[in-house]
Structure 1
Amino acid sequence: MRKVILYIAISLDGYIADKNGKVDWLNEYGSDEDMEGADGYSLFLKKVDTVVMGYNTYHQIVTELSPEQWVYEGLKSYVITHNKIPSNSEIMFVNSSPGDLIKNLKKESGKDIWICGGANIINQLMQEELIDRFHISVIPTILGNGIKLFDEIDNEVKLDFVQTRSGNGIVELVYEHR
């Protein structure tokens, strides 16, 4: 069965974006090749065929991070939004709850499903215990405030340790939902 994987970077104090919603603080850190056991991102991409994000993450990608080219080319991309935007061959804009979308995607055949942001989507999926694997890269930066990765949830989530990698000051932590 397809797994739902949260693959994301956070600051040391637990933020995925600064107080203005920006992630440019990530730019100063090296590529995957600087990590012990390099090429983790490339290996991860081979295991997924679907990426899910909220509208704010999508908007940041297409206006700031990669305005010239869709960075998730070759993956089925789902953007959860209340905005009325027509879908195209690469990106499906859906107006459904994150939980309903994930439950439907898990019924389909395919590779794993990547949750790449944002915090609201992640926290809704956490509430429903729909994230199977947590792949979190801790960046050696303290932002002090911003958008937190995890918000309050109603239930404790137990995880099992899978692996860790490090390099260039970054520590990658991988856990699976019990």
Structure 2
Amino acid sequence: MKNVVLYIAMSLDGYIADSKGSVDWIKGQSDSSEMPDTYSPFFKNIDTVILGKRTYDQIITELSPDEWPYSGATTYVFTHSTSMTDTKDIKFTNANPCGLIGTLKEETGKNIWVCGGADIVNQLMKEDLIDIYHIAIIPVILGGGIRLFDTTDNQINLRLIETVNYNGITEVIYESR
């Protein structure tokens, strides 16, 4: 069975994007410090990427407009639009995220990365479908924007697996218990 991994950056006050939807604040406290590559080893264990349409649009227009950064993995983009055309690596769907994730978890292969956005994350959390929370806490307080975690009636108990600190960033990795 595949694990569902939330691998995401958030501000110290819990936001994944600022009030304009930007993520240009995701960086360490010093531009001159070297940053370890925690992404490449993570992505080697991924064969499926989950994201919403706004995250997809941000990737193709701002973050990586010239090249799809997740080639080699199947990406599911959740959208209400019916005019999007699938590609070799990208599947557009209006399926229920929890239903699709439940099906994908049962397949053999590598892990499933929940890349964003917050609405998908919160739907999956309510159904307890996230197995690993890998969150990079960025040394900034935004004061507003898109909050990662919504309010919920469900308590989710976690077990700390690892912490990594560099350049003011703290990555915490928890598993569901």
Q: TM-score range by the shorter chain?
A: over 0.9
Q: Deviation of residue 27 (structure 1)?
A: 4.9
Partner SS, residue 24 of structure 1: coil
Tell me what 1:83 maps to: 81
**TM-score normalized by structure 2?**
0.94
Q: Which range is displaced more, 68-77 or 121-130? A: 68-77
Q: Which amino acid aligns with 1:132?
A: D
Deviations 1:37-79 (A, max 9, x none): x432111111111100000100100011111110111111110
Task: Provide closer, same or farther for how the CA distance between residues 166 and 106 of structure 1 changes in structure 2, counting only shifts above 3 A.
Answer: same
Q: Distance in 1 between matches of 2:124 and 2:133?
A: 12
> 1 CA distance for matches of 2:100 and 2:57?
20
CA contact 2:55–2:116 (8 Å) conserved in 1:
yes
The match for 1:43 among 41, 44, 47 is 41
Residue 168 of structure 2 is matched in structure 1 by 169
Once residues 28 and 112 of structure 2 are traced to their aligned partners in structure 1, the CA distance between those partners, rounded to angstroms, is: 28
Is the CA contact (8 Å cut-off) linking 2:163 and 2:172 kept in structure 1?
yes
- Equivalent in 54, 57, 72 of residue 55 of structure 2: 57
Aligned 1:110-129 pairs, distance under 5 A: 110-129=109-128
Q: CA deviation at 1:34?
A: 3.6
Task: Identify which range, 106-115 or 18-27, moves more after superposition.
Answer: 18-27
Q: How does 1:1-178 map to 2 (within 5 A)?
A: 1-27=1-27, 34-35=34-35, 38-84=36-82, 85-178=84-177
Distance 2:64 2:29 in 1: 17
Residue 22 of structure 1 aligns to a residue in which SS? coil
Note if contact 2:50-2:76 (Cα within 8 Å) is conserved in structure 1: yes
Aligned residues, how many? 175
Structure 1: which 4+ aligned runs deviate by more than 3 Å? 27-31
C-alpha change, 1:143 and 1:43, in structure 2 (3 Å) is same
- Over the aligned positions, Cα root-mean-square deviation in angstroms equals 1.6
Q: Do the aligned residues in 1 keep the contact of 2:78 with 2:93 (CA within 8 Å)?
A: yes
Output the TM-score relative to the length of structure 1. Answer: 0.93
For structure 2, the 5+ residue unaligned runs are none
Give percent identity, aligned residues only.
Answer: 53
More helix by share: 1
CA distance in structure 2 between the aligned counterparts of 1:97 and 1:8, rounded to whole angstroms = 21
